[in-house]
Structure 1
């Protein structure tokens, strides 16, 4: 029988040959899943021999990861702003940059919490559920054009015991009402960026959630153009954008009288990543 430390070493070496990023951490997380324990618990169990049923499950998961299926899909969940969200192929995997956007919004609006929030293109529901968790009294609404994504978002709301309304809409097509905050992480990659992305993104994320025409800006421009009709005075539109988009979009809207200010915010890597527009 092979021990925990022996199987981890073999798996790490195998993942490295297959080009899997973070082979050591991935091996540990998958073995912890099979052993039904926390990753850190493995370090206290290095010499423990592995039972057949544990090895069988682990090997099947290793095969999936070696084919570059996202780790989050195999684990079945992802941590996002303190919430444990179900994660599968029905929606884009929530990214750290999107978590940053939520953190920025929560930090800036905590003294004057929004009463009505709209999340456009909600995917797994990560953004709207994180904001609902932070602003418990807010009326939270989210839409997506994908019925599969909406089903996943509803499941996550139920798991998190958070109340939000979800419905199908192509951006603002079926939206009614006026909001204090509209937030979106729309598709913003170019087709070339998608083709050059890691296999986990290129082959497993929903294509419609990744790329947008016009150099990745078509959906961003559409949201900026239509959002003022759905924002109250001094309401906020918060957007996650692609590389070079924030400056381009700010320049395009310098004469836009619908907004009193347009702010570019950097992500943790120092890149211009987010736009925060205030309704005039």
Structure 2
């Protein structure tokens, strides 16, 4: 190819073009997405793009970037393209084997940290750990806690273990188990049980964007006709695995507060706390094991 016939694209020029292209294609956060994908292509931090805005891209870099652009407009989430999602100020590795951690789940971590500090050395179980975002964040904040994390998906646990190895300081260990809910823990009890379980109903699942429905694991999203299947099983089994005064914390979907509260009360739990997100939507329910049960 004649190099004089091929335009030399600088970082700034290609960012501007890609941002406009993403806008036309309806991609959310077009400028941020363009920056994340280009930084990933160049194996640099986003700040590098601003410092070296006039740097031309090599042909191979342009080729790689174009591939990412096409995959993004076809619906692949940015996080799966870069392999990274930030959560609790930590950079978690993510693949299509795990749900992409959402910012609202930090409300669950925040409350779990607060409650965990009331125990000298809490035993904490994270059910359905996925990428390990909740469990690893808790281990950062509660280094003396004994933290156990489980998932039914061995592929997800592989990612969670990698994240624990790369994100936890040396000497801070946690234990991973493969299995459905409490199956790996027949005799164990905990001070805190935390979970961001699947909670999408049949109707909600059908209405999800293709970006979520076609790319993120259905196992981590779908929870039966009414979206409550996993809550029913989790809450029914929780009491037998809690220490006295132990607490269960679950993330809930929009509009699920009353139904999940009722499930807890049917199992003789008292509601400790309901946390709303910044939009005023109930996102986390904490329920304490009744001392009389």
The interval holding the TM-score normalised by the smaller chain is: over 0.9
Contact (CA 8 Å) 1:231, 1:279: kept in 2 or not? Answer: yes
Question: Among residues 102, 106, 112, which one is paired with 2:109 in the alignment?
Answer: 102
1:233 is paired with a residue whose SS is strand
Contact (CA 8 Å) 1:128, 1:141: kept in 2 or not? Answer: yes
Larger radius of gyration: 2
* Corresponding residue number in structure 2 for 1:126: 133
Root mean square deviation, CA, Å: 1.7
* Corresponding residue number in structure 2 for 1:190: 201
Answer yes or no: is 1:20 the counterpart of 2:24. no
Q: Distance in 2 between matches of 1:230 and 1:7?
A: 55
Answer yes or no: is 1:42 the counterpart of 2:52. no
Contact (CA 8 Å) 1:129, 1:157: kept in 2 or not? Answer: yes
Task: Trace 1:265-280 onto structure 2 (pairs within 5 A).
Answer: 265-280=275-290
Contact (CA 8 Å) 1:69, 1:200: kept in 2 or not? Answer: yes
Contact (CA 8 Å) 1:194, 1:201: kept in 2 or not? Answer: no
* Corresponding residue number in structure 2 for 1:241: 252
Q: Runs ≥4 in structure 1, deviation > 6 angstroms? A: none
Unaligned regions of 5+ residues in structure 2, if any? 1-7
TM-score scaled by structure 1?
Answer: 0.93
Q: Distance in 2 between matches of 1:68 and 1:52?
A: 25
Cα distance, 1:36–1:151 mapped onto 2, change above 3 Å: closer
1:12 is paired with a residue whose SS is helix
Task: Trace 1:13-92 onto structure 2 (pairs within 5 A).
Answer: 13-92=20-99
Cα distance, 1:72–1:120 mapped onto 2, change above 3 Å: same
Q: Distance in 1 between matches of 2:72 and 2:160?
A: 24
* Corresponding residue number in structure 2 for 1:177: 188
Unaligned regions of 5+ residues in structure 1, if any? none
CA deviations over 1:164-186 (Å, ceiling 9, x no partner): 11111111122131101000111
Contact (CA 8 Å) 2:236, 2:267: kept in 1 or not? Answer: no
* Corresponding residue number in structure 1 for 2:5: none
Q: Distance in 2 between matches of 1:226 and 1:107?
A: 24
Task: Please identify, of 53-62 and 38-47, the stretch whose mean Cα deviation from structure 2 is larger.
Answer: 38-47
Q: How many residues align?
A: 279
1:194 is paired with a residue whose SS is helix
Task: Trace 1:153-232 onto structure 2 (pairs within 5 A).
Answer: 153-161=160-168, 162-175=172-185, 176-232=187-243
TM-score scaled by structure 2?
Answer: 0.89
Contact (CA 8 Å) 2:124, 2:190: kept in 1 or not? Answer: yes
* Corresponding residue number in structure 1 for 2:143: 136
